Amino acid sequence: MHELGIVFHVIKRLENLAEENKLSEIQSVTLEIGEVSGVVPEYLQDCWKWAVKKTEIMQNSELKIEPIEAVTICNDCKKTYRTVEFGKTCPNCKSDNTVLQVGNEMNIKQIEAC
């Protein structure tokens, strides 16, 4: 379960940010997660609920997750398509000369703090 490692990394980054900006509490964090990133949002939520209780500044913080749709581009016909639905094969020209454009990333999008 790599979600726990991700949560620890995010918490550490937020603690450093809170210290740099003299924040007393982080109320919520919004993460963008690509739908083919391999991160399971439900596992991430469970790990978050457990891990934030161990930090003073984030004990009551909420984790919000926004999915990023995976999009692939075909190098032959130059069209984009939804990756999860069609996989590596372009639905327009049937080529497998394709590259994932977005949908594999995870970003800290927003932090609500005081």
Q: How far is CA 63 from CA 7, 10, 110, 112, in A?
A: 10, 11, 10, 11
Q: What angle do CA 24, 26, 32 make, to 5 degrees?
A: 155
Positive or negative torsion for Cα 81, 82, 86, 88 = positive
Residues making up the binding site for Zn(2+): 74, 77, 90, 93
Residues making up the binding site: 2, 74, 77, 90, 93
Contacts by 87-91, CB closer than 8 A, 24 or more apart: none
Residues making up the binding site for Ni(2+): 2
Nearest to 40 by CA among 61, 17, 65: 65
